[in-house]
Amino acid sequence: MEKFYTTTAIDYVNGAPHIGHAYEKILTDVLFRHFSKRADCAYMLTGTDEHGIKIQKTSASMNINPKEFCDMNAQKFIDSWKLLDINYSQFIRTTDEKHKKIVQKIFKKLLDKGDIYKHSYTGLYCSGCEAFLSEKDLDENGFCPVHKKKPEVVSEENYFFKLTKYKEAIIKHIKQNPDFIVPSFRANEVLNQLENIEDISVSRAKTNVSWGIDVLDDPTQVIYVWIDALSNYITAIGYDPDGSSDLFKKLWSADVQVIGKDILKFHSIYWIAILMALDLPLPKHILAHGWITIDEAKMSKSLGNVISPKSIMEAFNMTEPDALRYYMATAAPCGKDGNYSDNDFKEKVNAHLANSMGNLLNRTLSMLVKYFDGEIKQEFIKKSPLFDEALKTIKEVEHHFDYFEVAEAAQKITELVDKVNKYVTDAAPWSLAKEGKMIECGEVLYTVLELMCVISSLIYPYCPNIAGKMAKQLKYDINTKYDDIKLDNIKIGKLISKEEITPVFLRLDSELADKANKVK
């Protein structure tokens, strides 16, 4: 694979990051880290969306200017992703000067082309969505179905984008590319939305919204979210209507754009139409993930169940995010909703990361030290049928990632760990040693350690810190590309001493790992 370019949705900075934001970033980071082991060049983009009426009003209520407010809240997202080891290549902010200048050029190009026109309009505007809604978008009470508020009637003269011009081309693309929208069952949802699509407003009058990017040559208007926010995916990597950068030419189009299912319409219709109007290639895939509920209830400020990733880590005294990363990445099948609960979190990560995987490595290395002073001998080296099973698992994991089935890929890794644990139980190296069958005992330990090298590579995208600790004790290069993985990593000679053996993951209910019981 020559390159892999993935993006997340950019988060609106009117609020603080919560576990729903974290789910998307972890999911994308796992994809990015996996494909980094397969592609010559991998790149991940994330960032923040920083214009609009909500930020204008909130900052005014705090008596600070909008940019100061954005700086403060954007830092909260940056800090959260650092805490979760989100290894993005670039963090874009829509208040970046470079982004703003290119957005103005994009707007002008579409205006000059005739795809943007000025039009007087009266419509139903939801300030929560920062979008105009039609009557059919509202619930039976005439409310926005997301924010449960009645939209206000707004009359403005705005610039509009000719979305209807690209309707048939979008329908054709979706039908001819059944894997364009992931999961595929969401394609019909988009096709239904396309039936009654209308041209969309792409500017707001400054008299109503002043916090935005100015329209060139028209000081009465600011550029609205659809061109401002959506364009970040190309402005960040150097798109310019007057001549794009080498990085843009290398990376675009995106291999997968990861978004929440609630903004699928904007990415699979509005964004695609804008790209068509700019004569740019379309993203290969749009992955619409589900929502994360808390104890089976949808997150809501009114319910008081909005949880931040930082609060979970603090509640469980976690110094590294691997447990939370693993839990969130495996919380739901591809595109479906998932759930977070304290008890399930603790039970799942203890079972998978501590009891099955971590304990397997720890006890195997401990037996190697106990019986052989940590040394691998020539006579231990013997090919096991499990080696073929491990190589098969690599291909199965790659296959699931090709379809962005991150939770399903993790299940294959867990199954391999379970098979290795069963092999140890059946072979009982401790009994072999007791019986004086030292070569047979050494063969078992060598086999397990070879398999643990593969497991560390496969679990790395989910748990980079745990995988790194495993690899260090195994003297294995964790950066090995999947195509280069062989089952001859454990070398003859001294592998490890007793002092070098440390648990790679402590159970969350152990005295060392956890003092807290409940996320507040």
What is the residue-averaged pLDDT of the chain?
A: 94
42-54 pLDDT, tens digit per residue, is 999 999 999 999 9
In angstroms, the CA 83 to CA 465 distance is: 12
Give alpha helix (H) positions in 330-435: 342-349, 359-372, 385-402, 406-427, 429-434
The reported pLDDT for the residue numbered 304 is: 64
Q: Tokens representing 184?
A: 């595929």
Active site residue 18: yes
The reported pLDDT for the residue numbered 513 is: 44
- Per-residue buried b or exposed e for 486-515, using 16+ beta carbons within 10 Å of the residue's own CB: ebebbeeeebbeeeebebbbbbbeeeebbe
Q: Which of the following is catalytic: 70, 144, 441, 463?
A: 144
Whether the predicted model's global pTM rises above the 0.85 cut: yes
pLDDT at 127 over 80: no
pLDDT at 514 over 60: no
The reported pLDDT for the residue numbered 510 is: 52
In angstroms, the CA 280 to CA 5 distance is: 15
pLDDT at 154 over 70: yes
pLDDT at 519 over 60: no
For strand 41-49 and strand 11-12, is the pairing parallel, antiparallel, or unpaired? Answer: parallel
3-state SS, 78-92, equals HHHHHHCCCCCCEEE
Q: Which of the following is catalytic: 98, 298, 434, 515?
A: 298
The reported pLDDT for the residue numbered 302 is: 57
Lowest mean per-residue pLDDT among 255-259, 371-375, 462-466, 514-518: 514-518
Active site residue 129: yes
Phi/psi for 98 (5° steps) reads -60, -45
363-415 pLDDT, tens digit per residue, is 999 999 999 999 999 999 999 999 999 999 999 999 999 999 999 999 999 99
pLDDT at 512 over 90: no
Cis amide prior to 253 (ω within 30 degrees): yes
Q: Which of the following is catalytic: 21, 267, 352, 412?
A: 21
What are the structural domain ranges in the chain?
A: 3-298, 322-500
Active site residue 41: no
pLDDT at 309 over 50: yes
What is the pLDDT confidence band of residue 296, given thresholds at 50, 70 and 90? confident
The reported pLDDT for the residue numbered 515 is: 41
Under a CB-based contact definition with an 8 Å cutoff, are residues 309 and 276 in contact? Answer: no
Q: Which of the following is catalytic: 67, 82, 98, 147?
A: 147
Per cent of the chain over pLDDT 70 is: 97
- Per-residue buried b or exposed e for 269-288, using 16+ beta carbons within 10 Å of the residue's own CB: bbbbbbbbbbeeebbebbbb
In angstroms, the CA 449 to CA 361 distance is: 7
Q: Which of the following is catalytic: 18, 51, 100, 346?
A: 18
Q: Which of the following is catalytic: 136, 301, 518, 520?
A: 301
Computed on alpha carbons and rounded to an integer, the radius of gyration of the chain in Å comes to 26
pLDDT at 36 over 80: yes
Per cent of the chain over pLDDT 90 is: 86
Identify the architecture of domain 3-298 in CATH.
3-Layer(aba) Sandwich (3.40)
Q: Tokens representing 13?
A: 């900075």
In angstroms, the CA 251 to CA 261 distance is: 25
Write 189-195 long-range contacts (CB < 8 A, 24+): 189/264, 190/264, 190/265, 190/268, 190/269, 193/265, 193/269, 194/167, 194/170, 194/269
Three-point CA angle 447, 453, 455, nearest 5°: 100
CATH of 322-500, one of 1.10.8.60, 2.60.40.420, 3.40.50.720, 1.10.730.10: 1.10.730.10
The reported pLDDT for the residue numbered 136 is: 79
The reported pLDDT for the residue numbered 385 is: 95
On the question of a common fold for 3-298 and 322-500, the answer reads: no
Q: Which of the following is catalytic: 126, 441, 453, 463?
A: 126
Q: Which of the following is catalytic: 70, 129, 441, 453?
A: 129
Under a CB-based contact definition with an 8 Å cutoff, are residues 417 and 326 in contact? Answer: no
Active site residue 336: no
The reported pLDDT for the residue numbered 155 is: 82
The reported pLDDT for the residue numbered 152 is: 87
In angstroms, the CA 518 to CA 513 distance is: 14
The reported pLDDT for the residue numbered 518 is: 39
Phi/psi for 344 (5° steps) reads -65, -40
Active site residue 21: yes
Active site residue 126: yes
Cis amide prior to 183 (ω within 30 degrees): yes
